[in-house]
Amino acid sequence: MTNDENKRRARSFEPPPWEREAFDRFQRERAEREKDAELEAALESIRSPGVELAEGEQPSSAVDTPKPPAAGPPNGRPSPPVVPPDIEERADAMLIELRAEEPAARTDWKGVSLWVSALLVIAGLGFVIWSGILFARSGGAGGQGAAMATFGSLLVMIWGLMLLGFATLLWRKVMR
């Protein structure tokens, strides 16, 4: 993966809603650590390398070094924020820890859910076949009765397809 892809993934990472609070807390703690590191770096830059200050002692004006003028970007626009290169590894590690905290799936219901899935498939196929029979019977008649029979067969087919979809979802959830 290139560095651009890492930056794009770091910007587009959105934690799941149930982990939003922990992720926000992690972001606040990281910002505090960065601020502390910046303050430490500023203190180190103020102190001269040969002079150690006693606790509570203020640096003298002779020890202070002049600050260079702040150099902005040449085009006047602010530079984009720098994303640490290890943010992706930390996010991956956090997601792995969250995955380990999830409760394990219970396997004692696997047989029951497979039977229920099979019954849903049978019922869904039954409704789809029944809707085909209803539609075939309504084809010869004319008028409002035929339209109602066609609409009824459509509703029965939709119900059967929904049952097949539920069976598929249940089967995929169990077999995962």
In tens, the pLDDT along 63-102 reads 445 555 555 555 667 666 666 667 878 888 888 888 888 7
pLDDT of amino acid 62 = 47
Mean per-residue pLDDT, 1-17: 66
For the residues of 25-88, what is the DSSP string, one character each?
HHHHHHHHHHHHHHHHHHHHHHS-TT--PPTTPPPPTTTPPPPPPPP--TTSSPPPPPPPTTHH
Distances (CA, A) of 39 to 58, 62, 68: 16, 21, 17
Percent of the chain with pLDDT over 90: 21
pTM metric for this prediction: 0.40
At residue 122 the predicted structure's pLDDT band, cuts being 50, 70 and 90, is very high
Find out whether 143 and 106 touch, Cβ atoms under 8 Å.
Answer: no
- Long-range contacts made by residues 15-21, C-beta under 8 angstroms, separation at least 24? 19/98
What tokens does 157 get? Answer: 């087919």
Amino acid at 91: A
At residue 124 the predicted structure's pLDDT band, cuts being 50, 70 and 90, is very high
Please name the residues in contact with 87: beta carbons below 8 A apart, sequence gap of 6 or more: 6, 10
Residue 50 has pLDDT above 70, yes or no: no
Q: Which of 42-46, 56-60, 105-109 has the lowest mean pLDDT?
A: 56-60
- Buried/exposed code over 106-121 (b: 16+ C-beta within 10 A; e: otherwise): eeeeeeeeeebbeebb
Residue 9 has pLDDT above 80, yes or no: no
What tokens does 118 get? Answer: 């099979």
pLDDT in tens, 128-176: 999 998 888 876 666 777 788 888 889 999 999 999 999 999 988 887 7
Q: Which of 54-68, 80-94, 103-117 has the lowest mean pLDDT?
A: 54-68
